[in-house]
């Protein structure tokens, strides 16, 4: 028997950082983000061998685990091992294969999406009935509590729910507001957005640790980021896309003040060139330090911005927004 899963990666527009404890517990956070047509995929194939075989095509790593002790965390496939342990599937006899459309540590939420995919595989194999909220919360606990990797909550929820989301983090309560944006507005937004890969980013946990070290001083900036997320959400619903682009710029300016490693000389150069060529606003998607640069451009200048950035090593990539979140189905092999 084979089970497959796929879940979308995401673009974060504003509010990320306000979903990282302790801020949401103390003040309530809010993020604005959207699922895109870049995916992480998983396959679970049952076997007759008393072992678990795991392969990651992204890292070109394959491991066999025959006992509980084999599942100790050692920096290799820890996301998969932690999910197997959390879901109490250590005695399973199956192979797991994981791969993604985007490179690791790219700022599109790939690690969280990977965990969501594996939770989907295992809950289906175990015939568990879980809601989207439960799947996202389990994935969050695996990554942030079991593996103790610093970060927020939004990625797990976007991967599970899909769509364009304004997510509120109110102490222990989370509300996923899936926005009903007019199709013509979405079309125009997507037409004017430019996504460029700048290279692999730093570990997001390192950047978030810097933010947490200065947490008390950063609270006013986090409040500002939360307000920007709310403002950008309203701009989308009203179709005021130039204002959306301007607030994207303001978000990036505020984000850079949270930690020094959010940006670097290469990113600053790319961003300055983009703004000079016709980008209204933009930001690095995710924690920062590299990955994907997202830009909102004047519609007749987008191609010029892309051409300019490619001179300096950035690579423009196409994408589309998607409504579907985590999907699970049975394959034909096995």
Q: What separation, in Å, do the N-terminal and C-terminal C-alpha atoms of the chain show?
A: 5
Distance CA 212, CA 207 (A): 9
Residue 204 pLDDT greater than 70, yes or no: no
Q: Is 27 helix (H, G, I), strand (E, B) or coil?
A: coil
pLDDT band at residue 201 under the 50/70/90 scheme: low
Looking at residue 287, what is its pLDDT?
65
Number of domains in the chain: 2
Whether 333 is covered by a domain: the verdict is no
Catalytic machinery residues: 155
Strands (E), 179-297: 193-197, 279-284, 292-297
Looking at residue 206, what is its pLDDT?
61
Looking at residue 90, what is its pLDDT?
92
Tell me the per-residue pLDDT of 248-287, one tens digit each, with 9 for 90 and over: 999 999 998 887 778 888 999 999 999 999 999 999 987 6
Tell whether 227 and 278 lie within a shared domain.
yes
Looking at residue 205, what is its pLDDT?
54
H-only helix segments in the chain: 23-26, 78-86, 110-125, 132-140, 154-161, 183-192, 204-213, 215-238, 241-255, 265-277, 302-310
Distance CA 72, CA 65 (A): 10
Q: What is the CATH number of the domain that holds 94?
A: 3.30.230.10
Looking at residue 25, what is its pLDDT?
93
Residue 288 pLDDT greater than 90, yes or no: no
**149: its two tokens:** 């990797």
Tell whether 241 and 313 lie within a shared domain.
yes
Whether 325 is covered by a domain: the verdict is no
Whether 238 is covered by a domain: the verdict is yes
Site of tokens 């996923």: 176
Rounded average pLDDT over 292-319: 95
Residue 334 pLDDT greater than 80, yes or no: no
Distance CA 117, CA 139 (A): 9
Distance CA 119, CA 328 (A): 11
> What does the mean pLDDT of the chain come to?
92
Looking at residue 214, what is its pLDDT?
75
Residue 199 pLDDT greater than 70, yes or no: yes
How many C-beta atoms surround the C-beta of residue 217 within 10 A?
10
Looking at residue 19, what is its pLDDT?
94
Q: Which of 17-21, 133-137, 154-158, 325-329 has the lowest mean pLDDT?
A: 17-21
Site of tokens 């985590």: 326
Tell whether 65 and 160 lie within a shared domain.
yes
More confident site: 273 or 75: 273
Report whether 235 contacts 244 (CB < 8 A): yes
Tell whether 135 and 187 lie within a shared domain.
no
Tell whether 90 and 122 lie within a shared domain.
yes
Percent of the chain with pLDDT over 70: 96
Rounded average pLDDT over 298-305: 96
Looking at residue 203, what is its pLDDT?
53
Tell whether 249 and 141 lie within a shared domain.
no
Site of tokens 């809010």: 30
Distance CA 9, CA 155 (A): 8
Residue 290 pLDDT greater than 60, yes or no: yes
Site of tokens 């830009």: 295
Tell me the per-residue pLDDT of 84-117, one tens digit each, with 9 for 90 and over: 999 999 988 999 999 999 888 888 999 999 999 9
Distance CA 144, CA 159 (A): 16
Tell whether 170 and 214 lie within a shared domain.
no
Instruction: Determine the structural domain holding residue 96 and report its residue range.
Output: 2-180
Rg (alpha carbons) of the chain, rounded to whole number: 20
């Amino acid at each position: 028997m084979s089970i497959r899963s796929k879940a979308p990666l995401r673009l974060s527009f504003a509010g990320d950082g306000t979903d990282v404890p302790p801020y949401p517990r103390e003040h309530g956070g809010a993020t604005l983000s959207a699922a895109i047509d870049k995916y992480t995929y998983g396959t679970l194939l049952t076997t007759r061998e008393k072992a678990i075989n795991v392969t990651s095509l992204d890292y070109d790593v394959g491991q066999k685990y025959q006992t509980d002790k084999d599942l100790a965390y050692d920096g290799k496939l820890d996301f998969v091992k932690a999910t197997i342990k959390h879901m109490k599937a250590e005695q399973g006899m199956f192979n797991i294969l994981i791969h993604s459309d985007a490179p690791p540590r790219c700022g599109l939420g790939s690690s969280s999406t990977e965990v969501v995919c594996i939770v989907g595989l295992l809950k289906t194999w175990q015939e568990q009935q879980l809601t989207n909220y439960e799947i996202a919360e389990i994935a969050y606990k695996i990554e942030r509590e079991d593996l103790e990797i610093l970060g927020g909550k939004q990625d797990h929820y976007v991967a599970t729910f899909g769509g364009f989301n304004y997510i509120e983090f109110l102490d222990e309560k989370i509300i996923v507001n899936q926005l009903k944006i007019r199709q013509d507005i979405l079309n125009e937004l997507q037409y004017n957005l430019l996504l460029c890969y700048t290279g692999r980013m730093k570990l997001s946990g390192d950047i978030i640790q810097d933010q947490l070290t200065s947490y008390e001083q950063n609270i006013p900036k986090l409040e500002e980021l939360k307000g920007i997320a709310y403002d950008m959400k309203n701009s989308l619903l009203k179709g005021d896309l130039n204002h959306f682009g301007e607030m994207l710029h303001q978000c990036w300016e505020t984000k850079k003040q949270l930690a020094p490693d959010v940006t670097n000389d290469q990113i600053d150069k790319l961003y300055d060139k983009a703004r000079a060529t016709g980008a209204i606003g933009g930001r690095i998607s995710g924690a920062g330090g590299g990955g994907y640069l997202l830009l909102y451009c004047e519609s007749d200048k987008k191609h010029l911005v892309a051409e300019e950035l490619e001179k300096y090593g950035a690579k423009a990539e196409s994408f589309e927004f998607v409504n579907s979140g985590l999907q699970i189905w049975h394959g034909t092999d096995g």
